[in-house]
Structure formats: structure tokens, C-alpha cells
């Protein structure tokens, strides 16, 4: 810990292991200078000033958006690149059919060629960071080396950067090594490589979000999921939220949805006026690390310290907390600008864009003004609903796990798994329409088990087995649910209003956990009957509600057949328990 002697030691001398690695990276990249990041406000100010001077950041209107700046990424570098993302385990089977794979030697050689001399004109930044509350035994540590000051600014917001992290690395001795360079931002020379067996990441050629902020998806999900398997816990693509009912009881739930499906909105949900007495507390909006506790419950921490959220659609109606939170000390990426230099995005009912996300005069024939995957980066401390328990080193106990996807049809509003084992099948069955968070076609349904398809650092078959193993350790496992806020009618209109109204569904779940709510059994799990949901003040017709809560056997038989075909690609590695659960569901649908 921070002894007086330690405080005097320069960062570069705290950990010989880190220093040696930095020296070898400097040798490879030929970096002009080295900057050890301490994560201080002064450092943020200094780097921001430098980027403003160089034109890499644009200041936003200080009257309405004090402390806010805009970054524009290269037009071909606006989302995660799953087709260029690899898991490099010694055996290809360990990466599984769910991942692109490259042999570690080959991947290292390829990346060495890219990194060689790439920082000649640049400063090398060393970012020691902690994922999770700094004093939590559940937290893990990493060091990212990057040549992008924009990445440094983001990492300082998104993780706990600085001396304390480096001190823990020096005492614990292990850390995840993440090497990043923006290279030439050339999509042809871009790779995101993961070496879970070596706890290391090498990322080249992109400056964007999940490709470049290595603490986030690369470390906290891909590498951590692998680590979690050996250590007996789970690293998941889940928000964590505390719900306090009118009686004053707070329960925490963890929800897995694919990117850009509303995790941030749900994590900061504002209860509708027609549900008085409810309060909502955000623990995390994207990633949960879940550990079986000595009490037989599942405990969760949010490894992150900030939000890297989708901007479009954020407004006082959809997410008042986020809307307020991003009006100060926020880094915007790829939004549009108004005439008086305020950030603008689709979904705002005020203001008018004059400059688009690429800095050109706005022309609606060229598409949206803000990029659909434009983002805000902001400290969690700015969130009005930030949970006082978010910094608790023990984490929070989880009462329910919720899986979900974006589905026009088939999936009902909500259903409950019969038990943990059935819940693993429910999670493995998640499918969702693709979004702008990843490069590729938007709106096509793809299988996205546990919303982890882009993020699981090893073979999904082994991952599902690990889910069964973790469940077996829990004397008091959370209940497991599936939700779909995105059902549409024949006219393509949403059947469910979503946002704050989603609390009605969550309230039903918590009542189920407490043994106070009814349900009806179906082939795929238990659903609320319309009378089991609190519908006071809800503007949804009885017909729509019935449609939302109906399981159509024919479309579900088709769904489950697709599920079987999907699972069969995992061959003999597929857990017997999962096959058993699938057979039970098939039998119930027959």
C-alpha cells in the first residue's frame, strides 16, 4: 500500500516487471519518449490541452457543456472490428468456433512486424490500471501501453489509473499486458489479438473504443473470461443495477444484452410516475465480474469506473440521468455540432445539426448527422443514480440474472427459467439483431449467447460447462430471466414502450424472487399473466400485452431447431447438461 517510501518512488521504478516490459516495447516501437500515467486531474488537463492545441480535440460550448470536448475518429474506424479480432490459444479448439483463431507464434510475428518502429515520432504512454474497486480482492490489474493520448484520456475515465494500481501490480506480481498503437489507422493493417494463456493483448491500427481501450472488452471480458474460468468466477457482458422497492428493500440484478441494446438506459432507469416509491441505483452499465460467495450467493463488481455509452437516442425521455450526466466533463466521439458548437445527435428534439460527425457541413442525404455508434465517455461519479455500493470491495449480491436481445418477433416480453440449468440454456439461446456497435450489416438476427459472442475468450462449449460448474457452487443461485423490449406488431411498431416502463417487468421478477408473484408455465419457461404485471398507468392495449406474453409453439419449434443446429457445431465438447436441457425444451414444444 501507499507507504511514504513508495510515494517517493517514481512510477517507472515501482515494478521491475512493468519497467522491463516497457523497455522492450520501446526498443521494438522506437518510441521518442515515455510518459508514465498517474491518472491525475492535472494529467487529464495537460493531455487535453495538448490535443486541443493539435486540433485532435474540439472544445464544445463551455456555457452549456463545460469541460466537454469532441473527438472525431477516422471515418473507417468507428466501431469494433470482430472480423479482425483473434483469440490466440495454442490449440484452436480452445478458442472454439465462436472465435477467430491464430496460432500464438504466428500472431506474435505478425504483430511484431506491425509494431516495429511504429512510435518513432510518438510518445509511448504507460497506463497502469485497476479493474474494480482499488481495494477489492475481486479486482484485477493491467498495464496498457499506447501511442494515443485520446486512449489515455478515455482509460483515465473508464478505469482506475495510477500509482495505487502500479503498487498492487508490484506486490501481486501479475498483470495483463496490453500493447496498443493506432499505427496508420489503416483498416488493412488492423488486428486485435488476444493471448489468454499469456494474459496479454496486442492491438494495432484502430483508435476506437473496444478496439483500443484495452481495459474494456479486451481485458475485462476476453482475457478475464478465460482467467475467470481457471479461478472459478464469471466475467460477463452485463450491467448491474440496484432496485429499491417502495418497502425500502434493495435487490441487485445483472443483465446481459448485446452492444447498443439499452444496457446503459436500463442501468440508469428512471421509474415512471405511475410506479411511486421505486428507486434505481447504477452499479455498472456494461461489464460484471461475478463471484460465488461464501454465503452461497453470487456477488458482483463492476470492473469499470466510467461509461462509454451510445449517444444517439439519449434524451430527457429515454434516459434523463445520462442526459444530465453528459453535460459536463464528458468526452464525445463522433457526434454532430450545432451552429453554437453544442454536440448534437439523432433523438434530440432540440437544436439543429450544422456540422456532421466527420466535420463536414451537415447534408441529410449523406446519412445521420451523428454516427449511429457515436459515444460519450464520462466518469461514473457524474451519474445521478450512481450506487453508493458501486465502490464496495465485496461487490453486491445478485438476486436475478436477465438475458435479452433485440427481436422483432418470437421472444416474448419476459420469461423465467425453471432453474439455473435451464437458465444456462436460456442464456445460450440469446439471439439478437446486429447493431452499429460492430462493423458489418445492421439488423440481421445472429446468435449471441449470453451477449458474449464477440467477447468470450475461449470455446463457448467450455464456457457453458463453466456456467454449470459455477451454478453447482451456489446454494442460493439467482433466478434467471429472458427479456425482449423490442417486439413489434405487423405494422412494425414497437409493442412495448420500454425505458422506464421496463421497471414493471423487473418488479415482477423481484416479486417472483420473494415468492410474491404469479406466473403461468409455458414450454420455454414461466411467463407473467397480464394480471401478474403492475399495469397501473401503463399505456399498452390489452391485445398488445397478450401478444407480448404469448409463446407461439410453431415459431418456437423453428427457433429451437435453429438453436440445435447452432449448438451442434460445438460437437462433443458441448456439455451433456446443455443437450439435456435442449431435449427437455424440445419435448415440451412437441
Residues that bind Mn ion (CB under 5 A): 259, 286
Q: What's the longest Cα–Cα distance across the chain?
A: 71
H or E element in which residue 81 lies: none
Give the Cβ contact number of residue 514 at 10 Å.
13
- Residue 261 is a catalytic residue: yes
Q: Any bridge partners for residue 336, and if so which?
A: 344
Nearest to 187 by CA among 43, 81, 52, 297: 81
Kindly list the residues in this chain that would bind ligand SAT in the complex (CB under 6 A).
80, 209-210, 216-217, 259, 308, 437
Closest contact distance (angstroms) between CB of 188 and ligand SAT is 21
Cβ nearer to Mn ion, comparing 209 with 471:
209
Closest contact distance (angstroms) between CB of 162 and ligand SAT is 22
Cβ nearer to ligand SAT, comparing 304 with 501:
304
Binds 292, which of ligand SAT, Mn ion, none (CB < 5 to 8 A, cut-off by type)?
A: none
Cβ nearer to ligand SAT, comparing 79 with 428:
79
Q: Alpha-carbon distance 274 to 46, whole Å?
A: 47
- Helices (H) and strands (E) counted in the chain, each on its own, are 17, 29
Closest contact distance (angstroms) between CB of 23 and ligand SAT is 30
Closest contact distance (angstroms) between CB of 507 and Mn ion is 25
For residue 276, CA distances in Å to 242, 266, 385, 534 come to: 16, 18, 16, 12
Residues in the chain: 590
Give the Cβ contact number of residue 515 at 10 Å.
6
Cβ nearer to Mn ion, comparing 77 with 286:
286
H or E element in which residue 516 lies: none
Cβ nearer to Mn ion, comparing 264 with 385:
264
Binds 252, which of ligand SAT, Mn ion, none (CB < 5 to 8 A, cut-off by type)?
A: none
For residue 520, CA distances in Å to 414, 525, 532 come to: 12, 9, 9
Binds 209, which of Mn ion, ligand SAT, none (CB < 5 to 8 A, cut-off by type)?
A: ligand SAT
Question: Residue 19 has what DSSP assignment?
Answer: H
Phi, psi values for residue 24, rounded to 5°? -70, -35
Cβ nearer to ligand SAT, comparing 191 with 556:
191
H or E element in which residue 558 lies: helix 553-568
Q: Alpha-carbon distance 39 to 134, whole Å?
A: 13
Closest contact distance (angstroms) between CB of 318 and ligand SAT is 18
DSSP SS3 for 307: strand
Cβ nearer to ligand SAT, comparing 455 with 556:
455
Q: Alpha-carbon distance 184 to 202, whole Å?
A: 15
- Of these residues, 255, 261, 456, 513, which one is catalytic? 261
For residues 59 and 71, is the Cβ–Cβ distance under 8 A? no
Closest contact distance (angstroms) between CB of 218 and Mn ion is 12
Nearest to 345 by CA among 300, 310, 319, 303: 310
Closest contact distance (angstroms) between CB of 308 and ligand SAT is 5
b/e map 398-434, b = 16+ CB within 10 Å: bbbbbbbbbbbebbbbbbbbbebbbbbbbbbbbbbbb
Question: Residue 551 has what DSSP assignment?
Answer: -
For residue 192, CA distances in Å to 1, 129, 195 come to: 34, 20, 10
Closest contact distance (angstroms) between CB of 237 and Mn ion is 6
Cβ nearer to ligand SAT, comparing 272 with 306:
306
Cβ nearer to ligand SAT, comparing 289 with 308:
308
Q: Alpha-carbon distance 260 to 586, whole Å?
A: 31
Closest contact distance (angstroms) between CB of 227 and ligand SAT is 19
Give percent helix, percent strand, percent coil of the chain, each to the nearest 5. 35, 25, 40
Q: Is 476 exposed, middle or buried, given 0-12, 13-18 or 19+ CB atoms closer than 10 A?
A: exposed
Binds 210, which of ligand SAT, Mn ion, none (CB < 5 to 8 A, cut-off by type)?
A: ligand SAT
Hey, CA dihedral for 574, 303, 90, 193, is it positive or negative? positive
Q: Alpha-carbon distance 564 to 421, whole Å?
A: 17
> Where in the sequence numbering do the catalytic residues fall?
261
Amino acid at each position: 500500500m501507499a507507504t511514504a517510501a513508495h510515494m517517493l518512488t517514481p512510477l517507472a521504478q515501482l515494478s521491475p516487471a512493468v519497467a522491463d516490459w516497457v523497455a522492450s516495447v520501446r526498443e521494438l516501437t522506437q518510441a521518442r519518449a515515455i510518459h508514465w500515467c498517474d491518472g491525475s486531474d492535472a494529467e487529464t488537463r495537460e493531455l487535453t490541452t495538448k490535443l486541443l492545441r493539435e486540433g485532435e480535440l474540439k472544445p464544445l460550448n463551455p456555457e452549456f457543456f463545460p469541460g466537454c470536448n469532441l473527438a472525431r475518429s477516422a471515418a473507417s474506424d468507428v466501431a469494433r472490428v470482430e472480423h479482425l479480432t483473434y483469440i490466440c490459444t495454442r490449440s484452436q479448439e480452445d478458442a472454439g468456433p465462436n472465435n477467430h483463431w491464430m496460432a500464438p507464434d504466428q500472431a506474435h510475428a505478425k504483430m511484431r512486424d506491425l509494431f516495429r518502429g511504429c512510435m518513432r515520432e510518438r510518445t509511448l504512454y504507460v497506463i497502469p490500471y485497476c479493474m474494480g474497486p482499488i481495494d477489492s480482492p475481486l479486482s484485477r490489474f493491467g498495464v496498457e501501453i499506447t501511442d494515443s493520448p485520446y486512449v489515455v484520456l478515455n482509460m483515465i475515465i473508464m478505469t482506475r489509473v495510477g500509482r495505487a494500481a502500479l503498487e498492487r501490480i508490484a506486490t501481486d506480481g501479475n498483470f495483463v499486458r496490453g500493447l496498443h498503437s493506432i499505427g496508420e489507422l489503416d483498416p488493412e493493417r488492423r488486428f486485435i489479438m488476444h493471448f489468454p494463456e499469456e494474459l496479454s493483448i496486442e492491438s494495432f491500427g484502430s483508435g476506437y473504443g473496444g478496439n483500443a481501450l484495452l481495459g474494456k472488452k479486451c481485458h475485462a471480458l476476453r482475457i478475464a473470461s478465460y482467467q475467470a474460468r481457471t479461478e472459478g468466477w464469471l466475467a460477463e457482458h452485463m450491467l448491474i443495477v440496484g432496485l429499491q422497492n417502495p418497502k425500502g428493500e434493495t435487490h441487485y440484478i445483472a443483465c446481459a444484452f448485446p452492444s447498443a441494446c439499452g444496457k446503459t438506459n436500463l442501468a440508469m432507469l428512471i421509474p415512471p410516475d405511475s410506479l411511486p416509491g421505486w428507486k434505481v441505483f447504477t452499479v455498472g452499465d456494461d461489464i460484471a465480474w461475478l463471484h460465488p460467495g461464501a454465503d452461497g450467493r453470487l456477488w458482483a463488481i463492476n470492473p469499470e469506473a466510467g461509461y462509454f455509452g451510445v449517444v444517439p437516442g439519449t434524451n430527457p425521455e429515454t434516459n434523463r440521468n445520462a442526459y444530465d450526466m453528459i453535460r459536463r466533463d464528458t468526452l464525445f466521439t463522433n457526434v454532430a455540432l450545432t451552429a453554437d458548437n453544442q454536440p448534437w445527435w439523432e433523438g434530440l428534439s432540440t437544436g439543429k445539426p450544422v456540422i456532421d460527425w466527420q466535420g463536414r457541413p451537415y447534408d441529410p442525404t449523406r446519412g445521420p448527422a451523428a454516427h449511429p455508434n457515436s459515444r460519450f465517455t464520462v466518469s461514473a461519479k457524474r451519474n445521478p443514480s450512481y450506487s453508493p455500493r458501486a465502490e464496495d470491495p465485496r461487490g453486491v449480491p445478485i438476486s436475478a440474472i436477465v438475458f435479452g436481445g433485440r427481436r422483432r418477433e418470437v421472444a416474448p416480453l419476459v420469461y423465467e427459467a425453471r432453474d439455473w440449468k435451464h437458465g444456462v440454456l436460456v442464456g445460450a439461446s440469446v439471439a439478437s439483431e446486429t447493431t452499429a456497435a460492430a462493423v458489418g450489416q445492421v439488423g440481421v438476427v445472429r446468435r449471441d449467447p449470453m451477449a458474449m459472442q464477440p467477447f468470450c475468450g475461449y470455446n463457448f462449449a467450455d464456457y457453458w460447462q463453466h456456467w454449470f460448474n459455477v451454478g453447482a457452487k451456489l446454494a442460493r443461485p439467482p433466478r434467471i430471466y429472458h427479456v425482449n423490449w423490442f417486439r413489434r406488431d405487423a405494422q412494425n411498431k414497437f409493442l412495448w414502450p420500454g425505458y422506464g416502463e421496463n421497471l414493471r417487468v423487473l418488479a415482477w421478477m423481484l416479486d417472483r424472487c420473494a415468492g410474491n408473484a404469479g406466473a403461468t408455465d409455458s414450454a420455454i419457461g414461466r411467463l407473467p399473466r397480464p394480471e401478474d404485471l403492475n399495469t397501473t398507468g401503463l399505456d399498452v392495449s390489452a391485445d398488445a400485452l397478450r401478444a407480448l406474453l404469448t409463446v407461439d409453439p410453431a415459431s418456437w419449434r423453428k427457433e429451437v431447431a435453429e438453436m440445435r443446429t447452432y449448438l451442434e457445431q460445438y460437437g462433443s465438447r458441448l456439455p451433456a447438461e446443455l443437450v439435456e436441457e435442449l431435449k427437455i425444451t424440445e419435448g415440451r414444444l412437441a
